[in-house]
Amino acid sequence: MRVRCIKIVHPQTGETVPEYPGVRVGSVCTVLEMITGPDYWMIRVLDEDDEDDDPGSLWDPGMFETIDAQVPPSWTLVLQDGHMRLAPALWQRPGFWNDYFDNVPQALADFQTAKHELLNSA
């Protein structure tokens, strides 16, 4: 799934701004995962210019328009405690992102495997 940034919504204020670090209007991004909760909805995107070890960034989906709606074959849907997560199966285990940011080797390897699958299917 790929999207194009059409506006930038400041993550803290919710206001539309002309620029913000990590995202550019007009950039094409691969969607890595979608996350919802009772009062939020976010997508993790990877800008086409991001480096290989970049985990992407979480953004308001209202900032983007869909340019390729194909759902990646590696995505699974998990509903738990009022939250929904559509993401690669390898990332769906509890604590995955904590382990990733703590540099746990298995989480880093799972991230790279799933990310490469997503980029190859985009």
pLDDT tens readout for residues 18-55:
998 888 999 999 999 999 998 889 999 987 665 566 78
As given in the structure block, the two tokens for residue 4 are: 């194009």
- Per-residue pLDDT tens digits for 7-19: 999 988 989 999 9
When pLDDT is cut at 50, 70 and 90, the band that residue 117 belongs to is confident
* Structural domain count, the chain: 1
pTM: 0.86
Identity of the residue numbered 68: D
Burial class (CB in 10 A: 0-12, 13-18, 19+), 35: middle
Give pLDDT, residue 119: 84
Helix (H) or strand (E) holding 111: helix 105-121
Domain that holds residue 10: 2-121
Mean pLDDT (whole number) for 64-93: 93
